[in-house]
Amino acid sequence: MSAVREDPTPRVRPSAAAALGIAAAAALFAALVLAPRAAPVPDRASAPPASPSPTPSAPWQPLVDFVVARALDGDALVLVERSARGTEGRAVARAVADAAAAVRGGPRLAVVDALPSTAAAAANRLAAALAAPRVWVAWPVATAATALPTSDGMPPAVPVDDPLRVWLDGNGRAVDARIVGAGEAAWAVGAWEHVPSLDGGDYPPVVVPEPLGGLELVGWSIAPLPLRAGRAGRVRAAWKVGRDGAPGYRIAFRLVDGAGRVAADFDDPPANRLAPIDTWPEADITVVSHDFTLGEAVQAGAYDVAVNAVDPATGRAVEAGAGRVIGAVIVERP
């Protein structure tokens, strides 16, 4: 039987701390070897600007709420840039349009753009936006703006010599103007429509003339169809002023249910305040957009559309009751 020989090299047991260090190093090495390689970071200069996501505290959130409440499918939205580069504004405009379209029943805009406030931008790129049924143009307001629109109807934050406004006034017709939001989130918003052309088929469908005092309703349309409770709508009406003129009536459109009850009442559109009826040319046709927001409580169903004219001096309506019935429309719940 051979003797068992012992190794003469002394055996040294590692301390507990050293053992932990060796184990940690091994784990780190394995993580570095086995970890997947990170994707390359794109060049910031070449990457497209990210579309920010509107939040209730975002400076453009008031615009989202406004577009949902006022715009219709097919409208255009243009944001005016603070600088001439146009990248940040384009991303914000797209974010506003996407957020509005994401709301149930929200509008899907046909044109979304951002332009520097220059004559070249107005001449070259505003024409496409003005070809939409309506273009909403928003100027950022650096400080809190609570003043009412100026005597010419536009918010005080939009100077009369602004190139975009000059071009729009010369090629379209202003139909709305207001301050949206406040403080750092304030925007001066104006809306323009192209002047309708009889040859271009822009006039609302012709109807049998409906006399209302010194006015005649000779054509009208309503959108969207069907209407949706809690969402925006728009009546485009073609009015003819008699040879004796017409007083500054307040035009009122109403939805009337089967029992004769008024379910919705909308009058005094911004377009009338920008161009009062007593300034309309006599013996000529004027097309006006009457905007409204249908109440959340309006029930689904069929309604008559009625129209009336009220003399603001006396408060007396031209037609008795809800007014003259001119058609019917369907309302859906959101």
3-state SS assignment for residue 126: helix
Which among 143, 144, 161 has a CA at the least distance from the CA of 152? 161
Query: What burial letters (b/e) apply to 191-201, b meaning 16+ CB within 10 Å?
Result: bbbbebeeeee
The domains of the chain, with CATH numbers, are 61-194 (3.40.50), 206-332 (2.70.50.60)
Residue type, 190: G
Question: Residues 98, 114: contact at Cβ < 8 Å?
Answer: no
In the structure encoding, which two tokens stand for residue 186, read together? 């304030």
Confidence grade of residue 1 (pLDDT, cut at 50, 70, 90): very low
Helices (H) and strands (E) in the chain, counts: 6, 14
Lowest mean per-residue pLDDT among 190-194, 263-267, 299-303: 263-267
Confidence grade of residue 274 (pLDDT, cut at 50, 70, 90): low
Higher pLDDT, 183 or 298: 298
Lowest mean per-residue pLDDT among 161-170, 256-265, 269-278, 284-293: 269-278
Strand boundaries in 195-284, DSSP class E: 206-212, 215-223, 227-228, 232-241, 250-256, 262-267
pLDDT in tens, 223-263: 998 998 888 889 988 888 887 777 788 888 999 998 888 88
pLDDT in tens, 68-94: 989 999 999 999 886 544 456 788 899
Backbone φ and ψ of 13, nearest 5°: -80, 130
